[in-house]
């Protein structure tokens, strides 16, 4: 009993719960539905959710720093639409469009971080304004969907990287896993990552230690904006279109993935690796509902909402009784 209480009191408890939940969902699907455990079904979790994994990595840094970013879904949509317009209407080369939209996402995020730091505003309010701004800009460009037929985008959309036995991954999934690896190294192997954790733990203490709080805060939102823009490119590869309605609610899915993956909403504790387990949990829920065939797709949102409530409640219970920092 004491061992169980110690395990529940450990900050990593929710992360392990997420991994256990992922295992239960997979075993349940494998037992209940023929073909669920096939290698390609598992790999499809990465292919279909590559954009969400990239967004969740960026969101992890924001939440670890004690902030929130509600603009990422709108930045994703804006990225797809700007890229599509430049490719199809302005006839710019894809090799120029890709770095341009990535730079735009980084700049958009950095601007939000600068406003938050300079004017001491709540991240919720600033990024909510950013969400409306980016979504509104989409419809200034085009109210209709723009189909992308640029050779580079089509090639990346159709390329299958064989893994043997008929299984394959998409280039987008490989990019997402590379972003995850880079995020892990940045969070746990660099001074920037340690400053992010310190900032989320206690901003006043971080300032007293002489850490670059302002620069880190701006950099965190720039990183989130860059990840959202890269996610938009991956979504454009996946859909071969740009549209202002793309990514509706994606910011909430990213936040849910990060929280379910074990990162504390209050900041200061969590693992970037938890973004992967959180995304896989969401993907497994969607896949289970698809395999069932009798349930509405809205059940995905219902189950995710329930899980998010439970994980937030568990985090709150774990925080009760702990000394304030």
Structural domains in the chain (count): 1
Q: What is the CATH number of the domain that holds 108?
A: 1.10.3470
User: Does 1 fall in a domain?
Assistant: no
Beta-carbon contacts of 130 under 8 Å, excluding residues fewer than 6 positions away, are: 70, 71, 74, 75, 108, 112
pLDDT tens sequence across 204-235: 999 999 999 999 999 999 999 999 999 999 99
User: Does 244 fall in a domain?
Assistant: yes
User: Does 11 fall in a domain?
Assistant: no
User: Does 28 fall in a domain?
Assistant: no
User: Does 26 fall in a domain?
Assistant: no
Phi, psi angles (nearest 5°) of residue 97: -65, -45
pLDDT tens sequence across 245-282: 999 999 999 999 999 998 998 898 899 999 999 999 99
User: Does 109 fall in a domain?
Assistant: yes
Quote the CA–CA distance of 71 and 250 in Å, as a whole number.
9
Beta-carbon contacts of 94 under 8 Å, excluding residues fewer than 6 positions away, are: 87, 150, 151, 152, 153
Q: Is the dihedral of CA 258, 172, 292, 19 positive or negative?
A: negative
147: three-class secondary structure by DSSP: strand
User: Does 324 fall in a domain?
Assistant: no
Q: Print the domain residue range for 208.
A: 35-319
pLDDT tens sequence across 80-103: 999 999 999 999 999 999 999 999
Residue 69 has pLDDT above 50, yes or no: yes
User: Does 201 fall in a domain?
Assistant: yes
- For residue 149, the model assigns a pLDDT of 96
Burial of 2 (0-12, 13-18, 19+ CB in 10 A): exposed
């Amino acid at each position: 009993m004491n061992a169980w209480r110690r395990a529940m009191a450990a900050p990593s408890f929710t992360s392990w719960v997420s991994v256990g939940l992922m295992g239960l969902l997979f075993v349940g699907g494998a037992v209940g539905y023929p073909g669920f455990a096939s290698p390609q079904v598992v790999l499809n979790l990465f292919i279909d959710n590559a954009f969400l994994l990239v967004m969740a990595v960026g969101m992890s840094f924001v939440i670890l720093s004690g902030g929130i970013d509600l603009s990422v879904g709108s930045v994703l949509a804006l990225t797809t639409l700007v890229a599509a317009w430049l490719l199809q209407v302005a006839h710019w080369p894809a090799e120029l469009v890709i770095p341009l939209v990535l730079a735009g996402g980084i700049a958009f995020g950095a601007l939000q971080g600068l406003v938050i730091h300079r004017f001491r505003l709540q991240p919720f309010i600033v990024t909510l304004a950013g969400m409306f701004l980016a979504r509104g800009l989409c419809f200034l460009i085009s109210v209709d969907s723009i189909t992308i037929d640029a050779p580079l985008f089509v090639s990346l959309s159709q390329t299958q990287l064989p893994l043997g036995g008929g299984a394959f991954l998409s280039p987008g999934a490989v990019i997402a896993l590379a972003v995850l690896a880079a995020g892990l190294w940045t969070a746990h192997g660099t001074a920037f990552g340690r400053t992010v954790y310190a900032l989320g733990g206690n901003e006043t203490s971080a300032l007293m230690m002489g850490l670059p709080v302002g620069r880190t805060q701006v950099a965190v939102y720039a990183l989130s904006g860059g990840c959202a823009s890269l996610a938009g490119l991956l979504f454009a590869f996946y859909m071969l279109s740009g549209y202002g309605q793309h990514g509706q609610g994606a910011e909430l899915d990213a936040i849910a993935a990060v929280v379910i993956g074990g990162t504390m909403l209050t900041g200061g504790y969590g693992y970037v690796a938890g973004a992967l387990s959180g995304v896989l949990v969401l993907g497994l829920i969607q896949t289970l509902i698809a395999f069932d065939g009798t349930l509405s797709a809205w059940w995905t949102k219902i189950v995710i909402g329930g899980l998010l409530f439970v994980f937030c409640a568990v985090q709150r219970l774990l925080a009760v009784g702990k000394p304030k920092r």
